[in-house]
Amino acid sequence: EVLLEQSGAEVKKPGESLKISCKGSGYSFNNYWIGWVRQMPGKGLEWMGIIYPDVSKTTYSPSFQGQVTISVDKSIDTAYLQWSSLKASDTAIYYCARRGGGSRSYFPFWGQGTLVTVSS
Amino acid sequence: SYVLTQPPSVSVAPGQTARITCGGHDIGGKSVHWYQQTPGQAPVLVVHSDSDRPSGIPDRFSGSNSGNTATLTISRVEAGDEADYYCQVWESGSDHYVFGTATKVTVL
């Protein structure tokens, strides 16, 4: 069974750094793209970026390029999303999602989401 | 960047048919996927590749795609279908993924 287990909720202050995680299991972690999706309170889904773990090839949405960093640690089958300086507007639920294999451009598997609250 | 436009809301009586549209320039040339999200839950894929259903999704969910509009159809609507629905495509040229603006389905 494919599972994506995300790290727990975070409460941070503006200007602080943060790294949240997404651990994959039940499949060959290195060989499937993992994406990150933001959902601000009461709003829709926004694609942030995606990474191919085997070679750490990464693509970012223009809206998030330079604002966040996506990375992986293949040794522990875990993907990360990190901020160097949080803003109040980063308050949202962040989902990781595994893409289908090959040319399948959809996301059949999702993590449970990580709530990030940024407040002074 | 590519934009996908959905109606903000659709209301339907139980047992009737709900149709949710997703508009985009020449979307018929792309592969469209649909997700259902209930409050407090992660999205769930209900239709992929325009009209295919993942295992476990009832055949009441179907999809079509042509021209500038893709459509998710929910037949014999049940109370449990009340949720937000999102369309999604992949832009091969830019290697970017795009979600639609979401449609809230209300079962009357």
Are A15 and A85 in contact by the 8 Å Cβ rule? The answer is: yes
Mutation choice for A interface testing from B36, B97, B98, B104 by most A CBs within 10 A: B97
d(CA B72, CA A56) in angstroms, rounded, equals: 34
pLDDT score for A112: 98
Q: How far is A105 from chain B (nearest CA, A)?
A: 6
List, for residues B12-41, the tens digit of each pLDDT value: 999 999 999 999 999 999 999 999 999 999
Which of A37, A45, A108 is opposite residue B45, by nearest beta carbon? A108
Q: What are the tokens at A34?
A: 């993992």
Identity of the amino acid at A1: E
List, for residues B47-101, the tens digit of each pLDDT value: 999 999 999 999 999 999 999 999 999 999 999 999 999 999 999 888 899 999 9
pLDDT score for A103: 85
Q: Exposed, middle or buried by CB within 10 Å (0-12, 13-18, 19+), for A25?
A: exposed
pLDDT score for A63: 96
Which of B42, B45, B97 is opposite residue A50, by nearest beta carbon? B97
Q: Which helix (H) or strand (E) holds B59?
A: none
| Residue among A23, A25, A22, A15 at smallest CA distance from A88 | A15
Mutation choice for B interface testing from A106, A112, A114 by most B CBs within 10 A: A106
pLDDT score for B1: 85
* 3-class SS of residue A48: strand
d(CA B16, CA A20) in angstroms, rounded, equals: 42
Strand ranges for B33-75 from DSSP E: 33-37, 44-47, 61-66, 69-74
Are A91 and A41 in contact by the 8 Å Cβ rule? The answer is: yes
Please answer yes or no on whether B43 and A95 come within 8 Å at the CB atom.
Answer: yes
Minimum Cα–Cα distance from B42: chain A residue? A112
**Chain B positions in Cβ-Cβ contact with residue A106 (cut-off 8 Å):** 31, 33, 45, 48-49, 88
Does any CB of chain B come closer than 8 Å to the CB of residue A42? no
For chain A of 120 residues, list the mean pLDDT of each consecutive stretch of 10: 98 98 97 98 97 96 97 97 98 97 92 98
Write the CB contacts of A51 (distance below 8 Å, at least 6 apart in sequence): A33, A34, A35, A57, A58, A59, A70, A71, A72, A79
